[in-house]
Structure 1
Amino acid sequence: MTYFSRFKTFILPAALLLASCGEPEPVKIGFVAGISGAGADTGLAARNALMMVVDEVNEKGGINGHPIELVIRDDQKSGEVGRQLMNEFHELGVTAVIGPIISSVGYGMLPGINEHQIITISPTVSALELAGKDDHLFRMNSTTSENAGAYARKQVELGRKKVALALDHANATFTESWANEFQRQYVDLGGEVVARIPFNQKGESGFSDPAEQLLASGADAFLLVANGFDSAQLSLQIRKRGATHPIAAAEWAASEQLIAMGGAAVEGLEVLQTYNRNDQSAHFLKFVDAYKARFNSIPGYTSVATHDAVTMLIAGLEKQAKDDIALKDALLQLRDVQGLQQMLSFNEYGDSGRQSYYLTIRNGQFVVQ
């Protein structure tokens, strides 16, 4: 067992204060997200933000003189791959993990997270099955109950009595949790969910069939519980058939790829976003400018959430070293850490939450309602 595989749980103060012969041993931080294939934009945006924070920390001397070394892995948006990666991280002596991005992968990783007691901070997973538990998974996002509830209230406010849902079966841990919470709260407010249409099921492909089923449902509006790429493709199929129904997409879809892939088909689409893209604070603008300069793109919601997740991890590692306590305890004791746009802390279960904004796509841009 390496020194820093022990470091992930307890600190040896003398080893941190005095470098041994040669270069200081690095702190290994794992990263796991879907960074290949369709919908990889959110994973890549998260990875980019992680790299920015780690480079800044290393330029300032690392964690008590120990540089951070990233171990980046592609979970292929698969819970089984995520489970295997936790075993690999354990073997490599990884101290903590940032990720995953989607709840189904988080669910697959959870047994390994707790078996190996590797602190894992997800920027975005929100399924209720992953919240409110005393375990080694920490979450930056609000739950599906909170986010889906905002959508339920908005649909009622807009006078929509009947809504049909399209659910990405490939991330069923999230989409089913989200749909259940939306339906429960929407029905309580007087609405009716007239259809729940799964797609991306095993052996199925394409977006024509789910689009046809949405149109046949008799709904006043459609709500797509899917990533940005798939939401764009579904919107294209709906508009291709001449339908003018209002379309909303779950917060998971709120990436730049939604607009890039959807074009005119996503004009007017509504989506919740978990950061204020119009924030003019110096702290946020500095991050945006640095991100654009390095990656030639605009940071997305996973970039902001990941930046906050890494900020909390770094603060926890520093507190762990200072107070000689377990990393889990250090993270749970953190209070009011400054994030990119909000103050950050975890509750007793390692759960946090995000500020949210309801947006509409107008002229190819996200506009706050």
Structure 2
Amino acid sequence: MRPRSLLSAIFLGCFLLVACDQTGPIKIGFIAQLSGPGSDTGTDSLNALKLAAQQINNSGGINSRMIEIIPRDDEKSPELAQKFVREFGELGVEAIVGPIISSIGMAMLPVINELGIVTVSPTISAAEFAGFRDYLFRMNTTTRENARAYAKRSISLGRKRVSLALDGQNEAFADSWYREFLLEFDELDGRVISKVWINNDNGTHADAASRLLEDAPDAIVLITNSGDSATMAREIRKLNADIPLSAAEWAGSDSLIEVGADAVEGMELIQAYDRYDTNPRFQKFVADYSLMFDREPGYSAVLTYDAATMLFTALSTKHPDQSLANAMTTLPPQTGLHQELMFDQFGDGNRNIYFVVIENGKFIRIQ
């Protein structure tokens, strides 16, 4: 639970980390899953942060101070994430970028509030994070907007009876997404006929696929990461080759297609960026990222680069006696890769969303 009694006093104290060396490098902590299945989004995020930092450093840094990135692999462990936040506090970081998934964000929140460390998450989206004054800043649209968009689209396509698979390793996101979807779906006379959790020692992915199909749903929605969505799609296709599949926005990385192959053809999902945008700023980012890392950026890379834009701008423009948190919430709109970027008074951002379908091994935007 969010420590509300602490939050009321958040902005009364000093936000500056006075222990920081004001003449040395600007230390930025980074927390995400960087190893194991599903780590592609964390790796993409770290890569984008490295690119943004390199570009700033090549231009002379921030007030002649170089940016130093200190990455940590949370391994999807709440305990590890909390440990790393405390380590960052001891190292005197000026901010943290991350985490990638909401369950880690929930674990980190009390500690970052306790230590007063501004933390910018590119991707976490559980609706429970929104509308609070704390040290957590979010770039992404919440599950409220995203899941309800899925519900409306499902009804528009005549899919009124659906089964859902939820990832138990990111329960904060999956449960929030499910509840928001259910509220909208019920209102539109849809019905969730089956809800199956995976990654919680409750059977294999094959078992889950069988249970999802038991009551002959019109469609299946996977509230899981890219790897698990791909695996679930393969298992489902063994039993039913034609059932329509959707995946939550969390799954929208290239590994979904790489691992899922033919099984994910026709799958629909939301993405928080338009990979075919022709604007020069986005195209330059894609070119720079691809040159530096020999791969194209995914959604977490795009959102992280935008997060770095906001963070580095606030660090470079804030008054000496102004807290970083205050500088972030009062920062005028900034130009992002796709859209104007801005935090509201609670440190909440928002994203444009785009429905895509996988066709011939590519994400194709649905017009």
Above 0.5 in TM-score?
yes
- The 4+ residue runs of structure 1 with deviation greater than 4 A are none
Query: What secondary structure sits across from 2:346 in the alignment?
Result: coil
Amino acid aligned to 1:261: V
Q: Distance in 2 between matches of 1:298 and 1:263?
A: 18
Structure 1 counterpart of 2:284, from 286, 289, 296: 286
2:3 is matched with none
Distance in 1 of aligned mates of 2:174 and 2:334: 31
Quote the residue 1:325 is aligned against.
Answer: 322
> Which position in structure 1 is the counterpart of 2:117?
118
In structure 1, the partner of 2:360 is: 363
**How far does residue 204 in structure 1 lie from its aligned partner after superposition?**
4.6
For the residue of structure 2 that corresponds to 1:355, the secondary structure is coil
Cα pair distance change 1:130/1:286, threshold 3 Å: same
Q: Secondary structure at the match of 2:31?
A: strand
Q: Alignment partner for residue 335 of structure 2, among 335, 338, 343?
A: 338
- Please list, as runs of the form range in 1=range in 2, the aligned pairs for 1:97-108 lying within 5 A after superposition: 97-108=96-107
Give the Cα separation in 2 of the matches to 1:161 and 1:185. 12
Q: What TM-score results when the alignment is normalised by the length of structure 2? A: 0.93
Mapped contact 1:119–1:138 kept (Cα < 8 A): yes
- Residue 30 of structure 1 aligns to a residue whose secondary structure is strand
Instruction: Write out per-residue CA displacement over residues 132-154 of structure 1, whole angstroms, 9 at most, x where no aligned residue.
Output: 11100000001100000110110
Report what 1:266 is aligned to: 264
- Corresponding residue number in structure 2 for 1:67: 66
Report the alpha carbon displacement of residue 199 of structure 1 after superposing the two structures with TM: 0.7
Report the residue type matching 1:105 in the other structure. Answer: I
Residue 9 (structure 1) aligned with residue 16 (structure 2):
yes
Report what 1:3 is aligned to.
none
**1:189-268 mapped onto 2 (5 Å cutoff):** 189-201=188-200, 203-204=201-202, 206-268=204-266
Tell me the amino acid that sits aligned with residue 335 of structure 2. Q
For the residue of structure 1 that corresponds to 2:151, the secondary structure is helix
Aligned residues between the structures: 352
Task: For 1:62 and 1:316, locate their aligned partners in 2 and report how far apart those are by CA, in whole Å.
Answer: 13
Identity of aligned residues (%): 45
Name the structure 1 match of 2:4.
none
Question: Map of 1:35-74 to 2, 5 A cutoff?
Answer: 35-74=34-73
Structure 2 Cα separation of the partners of residues 286 and 185 of structure 1: 39
Q: TM-score, normalised by structure 1?
A: 0.93
SS state at 1:329 partner? helix
Aligned counterparts of 1:204 and 1:339: Cα–Cα separation in 2: 42
Aligned pair partner of 1:296 in 291, 294, 297: 294
> 1:109 Cα deviation (Å)?
0.3
- How far residue 213 of structure 1 moved from its aligned partner, in angstroms, is 0.6
Q: Distance between the aligned counterparts of 2:192 and 2:313, measured in 1?
A: 44
Q: Deviations over 1:273-318 (max 9, x none)?
A: 0000010011110110111111111100000000000110001111
Which residues of structure 2 form unaligned runs of 5+? 1-13
Give, as a single letter, the amino acid of the residue that structure 1 aligns with 2:153: K
Farther-moved stretch of structure 1 (61-70 vs 322-331): 322-331
- What is the Cα deviation at residue 8 of structure 1? 6.5
What is the root-mean-square deviation in Å for CA atoms of aligned residues? 1.5
Secondary structure of the corresponding residue to residue 56 of structure 1: helix
The answer to whether the 8 A contact 2:17-2:94 is kept is no
Counterpart residue identity of residue 211, structure 1: A
